[in-house]
Structures are given as structure tokens and as C-alpha cells.
Structure 1
Amino acid sequence: MAGDKTFNWLDPFSSIDLDIDGRTDGIKQWAIANRDAIQPIKSFFDGMITGIEAALQAVPPVIMLVLLVLIAWQAAGRRVALIVLVCLVALGLLDPAAWSMAMTTLAIVISAVILCVIIGLPLGILAGKNDRFESAIRPVLDTMQTIPAFVYLVPVVMLVGIGNVSGVIVTIIFALPPLVRLTSLGIRGVNASVVEAARAFGATPRQIMFKVELPLATPTILAGLNQTIMLSLSMVVIASMISVKGLGNEVLRAMGRLDAGKAIVGGLGIVILAIVLDRITQGLGRSGRERGHRHWWRSGPVGMVMRMVGKTS
């Protein structure tokens, strides 16, 4: 009860105080006291992010542009490669510092997506194979998708401090659910008769998983990966509030100075990165029949090189 206030049966909520904010203050103190316990995890995350960013920044922009265009051509065809080329040239022309900021943002996104795959793929497979686990994890995923990002910024910062590591952690919380859900959906969507046929021919559960279920579920899993990448990019501006560098930080600083030009540069840079990554990952999800080739290496620049080598030999 709130003090000696008379209980109001018509408005009971005004008479009840559970002191939730006071209780959570104890959690905050515990987090601060045990911050050193997660230092190894923070060091691992920081090393991975720093390594990926250093690798991206070390590659000259023209070479990186060519590599990304070739990857887009191999994954999604010449038309998408042309779109990626135009987008990346536009990104470089936005501002002298836009390319460097974009590589920093890309490093954050790549780090978050790698960790999402490491965590989300096994969870999705387990959820697809086990109804009880799927029922247990569903409310957790619902909470992760619906809770405002600002709510978990504070506890994450208390645990690991501000910087890129915190940015990657909050991005994982926000972007992980689609990968888990769609991996589970893909596994559950595999035709039962195909699995039974494999089992009838003597395939082990491991063989069924890696040679039947996962290949058939790959388009759905890649759709989940695509959504995870898009959600990771959508978090860069919010993550910049905890000192995460890159294009999101440019937008945040521009908002603070009411600088519309810089805000547009940062915003367009994020949009261009999203288009590039979206087109490449969508291309990866296409089946061999859609590509017109049974194997991926028979198309794109790799297929061209192989045909040239075959003619000369």
C-alpha cells in the first residue's frame, strides 16, 4: 500500500505501489558490481568488431567497390551487380567521409549478423524440431521484437559501457528473432515424405538434417537472414546514442546541430547500404533452377572464369 492512503476499490491501481523502479535499482547495482565478470566477452566482441572494421578500412574504396559488385554478380546476376555499382558510386560521392563511415557501419552490421547466425541458427533448428522448445522460446522472441530499443539500452550500457560492443549487443537483441523464427519455419516446412524417403534409404538423423532438411529450408533461412540484416541496419541510428560510430552517428550529430545536409548524407548512406545488402542476400536465396544452373559456380564471374579456363586447356 502507498503509505496510509485509504484503499480505493474503484481505482485500486492508485492505491498499490509495488516499487518496481526501486527493485530494479538493485539490479543496476548488481550489474555495476559484476561488470568485470563479462570483461572476457566484451574483449572478444571488441576484438571481432575492430578486426572486421580494420579489414574493411584497409581495402581501398575502388577495390572494395569491385569486390562488392563481383559478389553481387555472383549472388544475384548482372542486373543486381549494376544496381550495386550505381549505389556504391553514389555512396562514395555523397561526402568525402561517407565511404569510411559506411565501412564502420558495415563492420558493426557484419559483426552483429555473424553473432545472430551463431546464436539464431541452432535455436531455430531446435525450435523447428522440438515443439516444447518452440513454445518456450516464442514469448521470448515476441518480447525481443516488441520491447522498445531504448528500454534495453540502459542495462546494456551499465554492463559493458558505451561503444561499439554495446551497439552490437543491442543490435543482436533487436535483429535475432526473424532468423530464429524463419529457420524454425523452414525446418517445419520440409515435406515429411522427403524425410521419410531419406530415412527409408538408411540416412542417419545427422544426414537427414544436413543433406535433406537444411538444403530444402535454405531459401526460408536466407529470408530470415535478409530480415536480420535489414533490422541490424535500422538500429544504427539508435545505437549511435551509445557512442557507436558510423553513419548512424553522423545522423545523430546532424540532428543535434539541426544540420539537414549532414543528416541527409548519413540517412542516404544507410539506405544505400540497405539496398546493396538486401539485393545480394535476396540473390543468395534463389534456387539453382531460378539461376538456370545446378551449381552456383556455373554462373557469374566464377562461371565465366571456369569456362575461359576450360577453353584454354
Structure 2
Amino acid sequence: MSGSFPEALQFSFAPVVNRLVDWLVLHYGDHLRSLSDQLLQLLVGLENLLRALPWWLLLLLVGLLAWHASRSLARALGLTALLTLIGVLGLWDKLLQTLALVLVSTGLCVLLGVPLGIVLATRPLARRLLLPVLDVMQTLPAFVYLIPVLMLFGLGKVPAVFATLIYALPPLVRLTQLGLAQIDPSLLQAAHGLGAGRWQRLRRIALPLALPSIMAGLNQSVMMALSMVVVASMIGARGLGEDVLAGIQTLNVGQGVEAGLAIVALAMVIDRISQAYGQPRR
């Protein structure tokens, strides 16, 4: 057909990607399996810890955390009421599973994202090399992450954590770099003149001043992690996303709406608390 693209100019790099994944599985399969087992133990341990807490104690802890972040009793009561609503809907256990997944994914984002943001803020070459990678990570459809992750780790909670990590990492890296780049250089120069080393300038001046931007990045990472809950349920991660997926598959609108509202409630609780901690205090 005259309107079709010429076959002589067509090229596919899918075989190269497949060979790379096969090579990783062949040479590093044992290491990946060990990492998967350790991460699974962490996830299961956190879930069991959350289940061991009485429901009222967990609500009390969230209320105290919200009050400490915002110093507002009304906001603390409102956020506690949102979590109570999830329990009233009979989704408390699913809530704990989703919360454990989000906490582990977000913790890994912090461990990787903040150091990467520091590197990007202090190394122009690293910034030029890594920013395009972050663009690809942030714009690539989430379902694409599932294919190599499933090949490397199989079904279950662990591939869901890694897929969520890849999807939620870029905002934290970018906003950490942005917060550090916006610091007045004269402050760091004054600290250097007073004899502060590089690590002291970073820990005592740069990071505290960039904290609002870092917390905004953390907030965005948490929101993106929650948006992956339904996608993660497709590869064996249980939780609130599992009920949304079941509602879609069985055309059970009520079940899907209940689980969806529970995800929204959890997102609002985490969002309000993290935003409150990110605001500068007097």
C-alpha cells in the first residue's frame, strides 16, 4: 500500500531489551531473588505490625501525627474521621495492606531520591545525564514498568513495590534538586568562610532551607504511589486496589466506588499531613 511506512526503514529494539532481561535473569537471578525475599519480609512484617495495633490506637496515632503537623485540632479530627470511614466500610484490612505498600515504596523513594537530588544539584554533568532519564521515567506509561519487573521478580507485592518506586521517584528527585538550587549562595559562602565543611553546609544549612521543596516532592511521590495501587493489584499486590479491580471485572459499581473512595481518603490523610510538615514554621 502506498500509504504504509516502508519496511526497509523499520527497526525494532524489542529483541535487544528481551536479551538484556534474559541476561539479567541468568546472571543475577539469585541476587534478585534474595533482594525480593528481603523486601517481602519487610512488607509482611510491616503489615503484621499494623495489624497487631488495635484499630483505635492506630487512629489515635494518626490523629496525634496530624495535630503535631498542623497544630489544628479540627484538621486532626477530620483526618481521623476519614480513616474511620474506611473501617466502617469494612476495608480496614485492605487499608493496612495498601498503607504498608505505600510506606515501603515511599521509604525507598526517600533513600534513593534525596541523594540523587543532591547529586543533581551539585554536579552539572550528572544533571545533564539524569534529567532525560527522569523525563522518560515520568512519562512512560505505568503498565510498561510491569513487563520487565514481572520477568525479574514474578507476581506479588515485590514487583508492585519496584514498579511504584520507578513511577514515584522522579518528582522527589526533581524537587530536591530544585530546592537546593534555589538556596542563596551567599549563605553557603558565609558558612564556608566560618569554617564549615561541605557535609556541615549540606546538613545544617542546605537541607533545612530546601526542606519545604523536599516535602513537596515527597508529597507528590506519595500521591503517585497511591495512583499505582490499582495497577499494582493487577500483578498480585493486594489492598484497596484489588477491590477496585474486582469491581471493574465483575461490573460491581458499588464495590469499586467504595474502594476508590477509600483510596481517596487515604490520599487526603497522607497529603494533608505531609503538606503541613512541609510548611515553614515560625
Shorter-chain TM-score: what band? over 0.9
Which of structures 1 and 2 has the bigger CA Rg? 1
Classify 1:194/1:61 alpha carbon distance in 2 versus 1 (closer, same or farther; 3 Å).
Answer: same
For residues 97 and 128 of structure 2, the distance between their equivalents in structure 1, rounded to whole angstroms, comes to 38
User: In the alignment, what sits opposite 1:160?
Assistant: 153
User: In the alignment, what sits opposite 1:37?
Assistant: 31
Taking structure 1 as the reference length, what is the TM-score of the superposition? 0.85
Letter in 2 for 1:63: L
- SS, match of residue 244 in structure 1: coil
- How far apart are 1:12 and its partner, in Å? 5.6
User: In the alignment, what sits opposite 2:74?
Assistant: 79
Classify 1:135/1:257 alpha carbon distance in 2 versus 1 (closer, same or farther; 3 Å).
Answer: same
User: In the alignment, what sits opposite 1:224?
Assistant: 217
Equivalent pairs: percent with the same residue?
40
Taking structure 2 as the reference length, what is the TM-score of the superposition? 0.94
The answer as to 2:87 corresponding to 1:92 is yes
Deviations 1:243-292 (A, max 9, x none): 10000011101111110111011101100000000000011112221xxx
| Residue number among 94, 98, 101 corresponding to 1:105 in the alignment | 98
In structure 1, list runs of 5 or more residues that go unmatched. 1-7, 290-313
For residues 132 and 20 of structure 1, the distance between their equivalents in structure 2, rounded to whole angstroms, comes to 27
The answer as to 2:238 corresponding to 1:245 is yes
Deviations 1:56-82 (A, max 9, x none): 111111111111001100111223202
Question: Is contact 1:31-1:158 (8 Å) kept?
Answer: no
Letter in 1 for 2:119: L
For residues 158 and 6 of structure 2, the distance between their equivalents in structure 1, rounded to whole angstroms, comes to 40
Question: Is contact 1:113-1:172 (8 Å) kept?
Answer: yes
| Residue number among 38, 51, 56 corresponding to 1:57 in the alignment | 51
- SS, match of residue 238 in structure 2: coil
- SS, match of residue 252 in structure 1: helix
For residues 273 and 12 of structure 1, the distance between their equivalents in structure 2, rounded to whole angstroms, comes to 48
| Two-structure CA RMSD over aligned residues (Å) | 1.7
Runs of 4+ with >2 A deviation: 8-37
For residues 42 and 73 of structure 1, the distance between their equivalents in structure 2, rounded to whole angstroms, comes to 36
- SS, match of residue 288 in structure 1: coil
User: In the alignment, what sits opposite 1:187?
Assistant: 180
For residues 248 and 140 of structure 1, the distance between their equivalents in structure 2, rounded to whole angstroms, comes to 28
User: In the alignment, what sits opposite 2:124?
Assistant: 131
- How far apart are 1:89 and its partner, in Å? 1.8
- How far apart are 1:37 and its partner, in Å? 3.2
The answer as to 2:108 corresponding to 1:115 is yes
For residues 52 and 184 of structure 1, the distance between their equivalents in structure 2, rounded to whole angstroms, comes to 30
For residues 12 and 59 of structure 2, the distance between their equivalents in structure 1, rounded to whole angstroms, comes to 55
